[in-house]
Structure 1
Amino acid sequence: MTSRVVLCPDGVSIAVSDLEGDGPVVVLLHGLAGSSRELLPTARELDGCRVLLVDQRGHGLSTRRPDDLTREAFVEDVVAVIEELVPGRRATLAGQSMGAHTAFLAAAARPDLVEGLVMLEGHVAGSHDPESAAALGRYFASWPVPFADEDAARAFLGDDAIVEAWVADLQTQGNGLVPRFDPDIMRRTIEAVHEPRWAEWETLRVPTRVIFARNGMFDDAEKNELIRRRPETDRIDLAGGTHDAHLDAFEEWVGVLRQWLSRGERTLDGRDLGGIGSRP
């Protein structure tokens, strides 16, 4: 694995972990307040692929406080990564939550660069609650940082699936540990995600699989509306998992991702994975 940095036109640096290879290109995109680190186990299961793990702007090792947090800026970052690191090739974009939203918009904007789209626990309808983004910002601002150590962080953050990923991402600052993101940046980022993007969804031309967890964020009406507005979309409902199914339903998530990459034939290492997951 090689660490790379892509410099975007607005001066933002995007950190990328490149699992070099000669196979199909897969770009993995994490969710809000996460980093590419949490998708590294997924990347390692994609034998035979050229996997690029991206820290989106404001996250991980990328520029922490970019001025531009529009969805278009996030899309341009993905475009820059593909054009610089795998010039002349098309990629499959796979993302979770906010990362799924970034992947979807990138696929809609630049189908010439994208051959497939996988969205885990992502949606395009946005949020009708103007308070939800502010509430997330307040939550991240409530973290009593710096944490004295990882145990102190776990004691405050609880035992949700995402917690170990957050703890693994903490960095040393002074006499304690702090996250690799700022609460106000997270709030501004999710505010943009909460804008509905149905027009892009309904005109999307890229083959798409959407994956929902059993105990995820979206209800049946929201899932069904996504398919109603774009019937050609392939939908898989996992038997388990939460919104962070890439962490707490890992084997099932990886199975349906690999199945999609092989387009229902055989997985990259030759094992038959037909029948994993279920259609509604």
Structure 2
Amino acid sequence: MPFLDLDGLRCHVQRLAPPDGRPPAATAVLVHGLLTDSMASHYFTIAPTLAAAGLDVLMYDQRGHGRSGRPPTGYRLESFVDDLALLLERSAVTSPVHLLGNSFGGTVAYGLAVRRPAAVASILAIESEPASRAWSVKLDGILRRAGTELLDEATLAWVADRRGAHTARLARSAGRLLAATSLARDVPASRLPAEAELRAIRCPVLAVYGTESDLAEQAARLDALLPDCRSSFVPGHDHSVLVENPVVVGELALGWLREQGVELRREQAAVPAGAGGDDRTGPAPGRTGR
């Protein structure tokens, strides 16, 4: 690759093949969250482990993020789902894929499962939820707040002091994204799947939460809503569990794929301890990707 044209969107794509040169056992597509997130949060965490285990690993920067194009408009959830569907088509992926979505990336994964159920073998949703009215209201508040805070120099200085210069750079970039595009207006205005559409998702779903995250409270509801869903909890972590504990998340992912009948290689590379970004908007509870 590393760039594909998705009907006018220049999309940054990376693909990791099994290092042993053997045919891949299955395809895993990794979908990141909003604002400060990008494919880096997968590339520097679980992606190498999945490839070493025999997976064809497909990652991309979602519209407006990373090295992909940043159109001024077009950020409703359905546009992100369109991009994922086109990515599979343009990447010549013909078999059902295992979707691993972090935060908003999981919401996109659920969206594809609603629209193209035959394309999805399973979903591993990390700190995520399907789109709903409550999700839309929550995202509206988070994005409005982020649009103000992430353009404020005092807030950015606070982020740099508490979380380091790299996180502050990500926050500043996220503020520019919100200022330059309609993302903050578009995401809450997304088309929301009906409850019947979510109940019709037949692929297996593993929902992973940090025990300290407010999203963990939705586990029982989601397990009851989706026909084949169960939850797993990572103790002592919140919304950033992927980048804070990639070893455990990687182990959960491998175990999940084995359950789905994927014949993994016996030897896997170690999951790196750090990541290139996270999915938070700033210092306080204003996290994104819900």
Please indicate, yes or no, whether the TM-score normalized by the shorter chain is above 0.5: yes
SS at match of 1:262: helix
Normalization by structure 1: what TM-score?
A: 0.78
Distance, in Å, in 2 between the alignment partners of 1:60 and 1:84 is 20
Partner of 2:46: 42
Distance, in Å, in 1 between the alignment partners of 2:94 and 2:11 is 20
Aligned mate of 1:201, from 198, 202, 227 = 198
1:85 counterpart = 2:82 = no
Cα separation, partners in 2 of 1:19 and 1:66, compared to 1, 3 Å: farther
Cα separation, partners in 2 of 1:87 and 1:232, compared to 1, 3 Å: closer
Cα separation, partners in 2 of 1:99 and 1:108, compared to 1, 3 Å: same
Deviations 1:117-143, CA, capped at 9 Å, x for gaps? 111111124427847524423324433
Shift of 1:104: 1.0
Distance, in Å, in 2 between the alignment partners of 1:165 and 1:271 is 33
1:218 counterpart = 2:215 = yes
Deviations 1:208-263, CA, capped at 9 Å, x for gaps? 1111111113253x221111122421221222321111011221111111111121
Partner of 2:134: 127
Equivalent pairs counted in the alignment come to 256
Aligned mate of 1:5, from 3, 6, 11 = 3
Say whether the 8 Å CA contact 1:108–1:203 is kept in structure 2. yes
| Bigger mean CA offset, 134-143 vs 41-50 | 134-143
Identity %: 21
Say whether the 8 Å CA contact 2:76–2:183 is kept in structure 1. no
Shift of 1:159: 4.1
Shift of 1:20: 2.9
2:129 is matched by which residue type in structure 1? H
Partner of 1:173: none
Shift of 1:80: 1.0
* Structure with the larger RCO, 1 or 2 (CA within 8 Å, 6+ apart): 2
Deviations 1:17-63, CA, capped at 9 Å, x for gaps? 11134311111111111111111121011112111111111211112
Distance, in Å, in 1 between the alignment partners of 2:135 and 2:106 is 19
Distance, in Å, in 1 between the alignment partners of 2:134 and 2:161 is 26
1:107 counterpart = 2:113 = yes
Backbone CA RMSD of aligned residues:
3.2
After TM superposition, list the pairs within 5 Å mapping 1:175-254 onto structure 2. Answer: 178-179=173-174, 182-184=177-179, 185-192=182-189, 195=192, 197-220=194-217, 222-254=218-250
Distance, in Å, in 2 between the alignment partners of 1:270 and 1:107 is 30
Distance, in Å, in 2 between the alignment partners of 1:155 and 1:39 is 26
1:60 counterpart = 2:62 = no
Distance, in Å, in 2 between the alignment partners of 1:102 and 1:42 is 19
1:59 is matched by which residue type in structure 2? H
Distance, in Å, in 2 between the alignment partners of 1:119 and 1:182 is 25
Distance, in Å, in 2 between the alignment partners of 1:103 and 1:85 is 17
Say whether the 8 Å CA contact 1:127–1:194 is kept in structure 2. no
Query: Which has more helix, going by share of residues?
Result: 2
Shift of 1:107: 1.8
Say whether the 8 Å CA contact 2:202–2:227 is kept in structure 1. no
Say whether the 8 Å CA contact 1:5–1:13 is kept in structure 2. yes
1:238 is matched by which residue type in structure 2? V
